[in-house]
Structure 1
Amino acid sequence: MPAKPEDALKYEKVLKTLRARIRDGVYPPGTMLPSQHQLVAEFDVSRPTVIEALRLLRQEGLIETQTGRGSFVRGKTPSLGIEADPHPGRRLLDVAEADSRAELLQAGIVVAPARVAALLELPTGTKAFVRRYVVGDEDGPIELVSAWFPLDLVAGTKLASPEPLDEGIRRHLYGRKRLRLDYAIERTLARGATAEEASVLQVDPGAPVLNLLVSGIDPEGRPRQLVDAVLPGDRHELRDVYPLA
Structure 2
Amino acid sequence: MGTAADDYLNQPLVLPPRQPIRIAVYSRLASGIRSGILPPGTLLPRESDLAGMLDVSRTPVREALILLEEDGLVTTKRGVGRFVADSLPNTGLESLRPFEQILADGGIVDIRPFRFSADPATEFVSDHLGIDVGATVWFRESVITLDATPAAIAQEHLTAGYDPRTGLNLDRTLNDAADRAQTLLAALMEDPSLSFDSSECHIVPSTAGQSRASLLDVDADDPVLVLTQTVTHGGTPIYLGKYIVAKAVPSLTIIQSTK
Q: Percent identity?
A: 15
CA contact (8 A) 1:147 1:227 kept: yes
Residues 145-224 of structure 1: matches in 2 within 5 Å? 145-152=154-161, 153-159=169-175, 161-165=178-182, 168-172=186-190, 174-175=191-192, 178-219=193-234, 221-224=235-238
State the one-letter code of the partner of 1:122: I
**Cα offset, 1:90, TM superposition:** 2.5
SS at match of 1:156: helix
Q: Which has the larger radius of gyration?
A: 1
Structure 1's 163 and 150: CA in aligned 2 closer, same or farther, altered over 3 A? same
CA contact (8 A) 1:96 1:165 kept: no
**Cα offset, 1:73, TM superposition:** 8.9
Structure 2: runs of 5+ lacking an equivalent: 3-40, 46-72, 162-168, 255-259
State the one-letter code of the partner of 1:92: P
Structure 1's 131 and 159: CA in aligned 2 closer, same or farther, altered over 3 A? farther
SS at match of 2:172: coil
Q: Equivalent residue for 1:87?
A: 93
- Once the two structures are superposed, residues 12-62 of structure 1 have per-residue CA deviations (whole angstroms, 9 ceiling, x without a partner) of 9xxxxxxxxxxxxxxxxxxxxxxxxxxxxxxxxxxxxxxxxxx95345957
Distance across 2 between alignment mates of 1:138 and 1:63:
38
Q: Equivalent residue for 2:52?
A: none
State the one-letter code of the partner of 1:157: T
SS at match of 2:118: strand
State the TM-score, normalizing by the size of structure 1. 0.58
Q: Equivalent residue for 1:27?
A: none
Match of 1:131 among 123, 131, 140: 140
SS at match of 1:196: helix
**Cα offset, 1:211, TM superposition:** 0.6
Structure 1's 77 and 134: CA in aligned 2 closer, same or farther, altered over 3 A? farther
SS at match of 2:124: helix
State the one-letter code of the partner of 1:57: L
* Number of residues of Structure 1 aligned to a counterpart in Structure 2: 177
Structure 1's 197 and 65: CA in aligned 2 closer, same or farther, altered over 3 A? same
Structure 1's 117 and 239: CA in aligned 2 closer, same or farther, altered over 3 A? closer
**Cα offset, 1:93, TM superposition:** 5.9
Match of 1:225 among 239, 242, 245: 239
Structure 1's 218 and 154: CA in aligned 2 closer, same or farther, altered over 3 A? closer
**Worse overlay, 117-126 or 159-168:** 159-168
Q: Equivalent residue for 1:117?
A: 126
**Cα offset, 1:184, TM superposition:** 0.4
Aligned: 1:141 with 2:147: no
Q: Equivalent residue for 1:39?
A: none
Structure 1's 205 and 62: CA in aligned 2 closer, same or farther, altered over 3 A? closer
**Cα offset, 1:114, TM superposition:** 2.2
CA contact (8 A) 2:224 2:247 kept: yes
CA contact (8 A) 2:109 2:148 kept: no
